[in-house]
Amino acid sequence: MSDSTEQPEYPPELSEEQGLFLTSQILDWQINHGSLLKRVQTQTDHSVLSHPIGVTVFPTLFPRAQFHRALELQSIYNELYCAVAQDEQWIFEAIQDLLPIDPLAAVLWNVHQQVQKAGYSQPVSAGIFRSDYMLHADRPSDLLRNPEVSLKQVEFNTFSCAGGSHADKVVKMHRYLARTGAYEDSVQLSALPQNDNIEQLADCLAAAHTAYGGKSDTAVLFIVQPNNFNIADERPIEYALWNREQPVPAYRLDFGDVLECTSLAGTGELLFHPPWLSKTVEISVVYMRAGYEAHEYDETGIAARVRLEASLAIKCPSLLAHICTFKKIQHALTGAGVLERFISEEKAAFIRSTFVKMYSLNESDARRLATDPILSKDYILKPSLEGGGHNVFGDAIPDFLASIPESSWGAYILMERIPSPLVMNVLLSSLGIDSGEVISELGIFGTCLWKQGEMLQNSVAGWSFKTKHEDVDEMNVVKGYGCFDTPLLI
């Protein structure tokens, strides 16, 4: 009469043969479908090595209701951030404390002011956003036996959102394993949602290309970081653009080469002069996959960003939408009545239900929580930068704050940790294979096109699902701290 007789364990215990079979199916599938990371340090002029990106061996349990709730939320989040991105004054107030202490915020605001002076020439913006959530369990419990949990937002990314292509492929991999019987009875194909990020993200860029005029001699320009090990996340979107029934030309350009390889026409068009082709190409859409780190903005970087922003090309996203990726914006939106400034009351309530408590370290309450070794356990200290990798967790916060000048505390946001339900899985990556308790993060991709406050297009594109061991703080798959995954909906 124990629980286990009613509910089989998940994932099932594997024999040695079963484990070897699954990992060999997975690694071969990854090699054959570009689910890989380039080892850039091995790159020569003629070859380069790759290794499979981290993936879960099984899909991870996730409540179906919360999955659909996250999808439903996305078009409201898109609407919210498009509205915020039009409100220069509100943005300035939300981030002004950052400007003296955060070099990236300062440089972006400075670029904004420079372009503003001459006037932005392109009223249309495109957005590829990603809202990240975790499951919140009121009390520690096994998800399989007590799926009563809620959805809490970790962060909202407006700039250079990665992982779309990898997520797309890993879902197809888990679905392949399920439909070929590799999981036997433990995974039903119908419980694995489909995902078409690659096509959907390309659709967004193609729609922006059309909004620009859609001429076949104009092109989308991906602004990228040099020597990128993660080309398997960027390139598929480029291929999808070229592969459309009406092909959309797409090129790549290192952010550092923008000044040298582009020019502005007298009438504002962004002209691309690829040094490897004998022609000049007018750029319809600038898709930013670089320019999110302060070190990219030396004098050349600043001038490059000014040129891109000043041009007639549609930016994905606009500069103000980029700034909305700062945690200070996420924090400011949690203020009383703030959401209602941008969206309807009903929508605001829905969005607000995903918020956890966030504090600025200007508040004395927050300082008390953050400097207390006991109280700080329930919090994460986040810098206002995009993406992970810079967060400070729990009882490490007091020592960290003590190590930096108090004048720079204002760059950080203190955020409640999200207590997760218990789920198990087996994680496979270049670092090893391990089973145990895991924590997942669901990211929903939203794409949109807007013109000075008016939404021209608003779509839920797809999603990413990432899982790490419960005892690892950071979720960063490309650096090895986690795996791409698929929710097994229950």
CA distance 301 to 222: 15
Contact status: 295 vs a second copy (CB under 8 A): no
Contact status: 360 vs a second copy (CB under 8 A): no
130 is in an annotated binding site: yes
As to burial, measured by CB atoms within 10 angstroms (0-12 exposed, 13-18 middle, 19+ buried), residue 382 is buried
Helix (H, G, I), strand (E, B) or coil at 115: helix
Member of 8, 9, 49, 390 binding a second copy (CB under 8 A): 49
| Torsion (CA) 476, 478, 483, 486 in degrees, nearest 10 | 100
Contact status: 469 vs a second copy (CB under 8 A): no
Q: Evaluate whether 396 touches 454 at the Cβ level (below 8 Å).
A: no
Size of the site for a second copy (CB under 8 A): 50
Contact status: 28 vs a second copy (CB under 8 A): yes
Query: Smallest gap, in angstroms, from Cβ of residue 239 to a second copy?
Result: 7
Contact status: 31 vs a second copy (CB under 8 A): yes
Contacts 24+ apart (CB under 8 A), 103-108: 103/294, 103/297, 104/292, 104/293, 104/294, 104/297, 104/385, 105/323, 105/326, 105/384, 107/294, 107/297, 107/302, 108/305, 108/319, 108/322, 108/323
Name the DSSP class of 170: H
Show Cβ contacts of residue 85 under 8 Å, excluding neighbours closer than 6 positions.
91, 125, 127, 158, 317, 318, 320, 321, 324, 450
One character per residue 241-280, x = contact with a second copy (rule: CB under 8 A): -x----x-x------------------------xxxxx--
Query: Smallest gap, in angstroms, from Cβ of residue 15 to a second copy?
Result: 7
Nearest to 332 by CA among 353, 360, 305: 360
**Phi, psi torsion values for 251, nearest 5 degrees:** -130, 165
CA distance to 205, 275, 442, per residue, from 241 (Å): 8, 22, 26
Q: Evaluate whether 428 touches 23 at the Cβ level (below 8 Å).
A: yes
Member of 1, 2, 4, 46 binding a second copy (CB under 8 A): 46
Contact status: 12 vs a second copy (CB under 8 A): no
320 is in an annotated binding site: no
Query: Smallest gap, in angstroms, from Cβ of residue 174 to a second copy?
Result: 14
Q: Is the peptide bond before 147 cis (omega within 30 degrees of 0)?
A: no
Q: Which stretch binds a second copy (CB under 8 A): 18-26, 339-347, 375-383, 407-415?
A: 18-26
Contact status: 433 vs a second copy (CB under 8 A): yes
Contact status: 472 vs a second copy (CB under 8 A): no
Query: Smallest gap, in angstroms, from Cβ of residue 430 to a second copy?
Result: 4
441 is in an annotated binding site: yes
Contact status: 210 vs a second copy (CB under 8 A): no
Interface of this chain with a second copy, residues 184 to 203, rule: CB under 8 A: 184
Q: Which stretch binds a second copy (CB under 8 A): 232-240, 304-312, 347-355, 453-461?
A: 232-240
Residue type, 209: H
Which residue's CB is nearer to a second copy, number 119 or number 275? 275
Annotated binding site: 130, 155, 157, 327, 382-391, 415-418, 441, 468, 474
* Residue numbering of the annotated binding site for Mg(2+): 155, 157, 386
Question: Which residues contact a second copy (rule: CB under 8 A)?
Answer: 15, 17-23, 27-29, 31-34, 36, 38-39, 45-52, 176, 179-181, 184, 231-232, 235-236, 239, 242, 247, 249, 274-278, 428-433
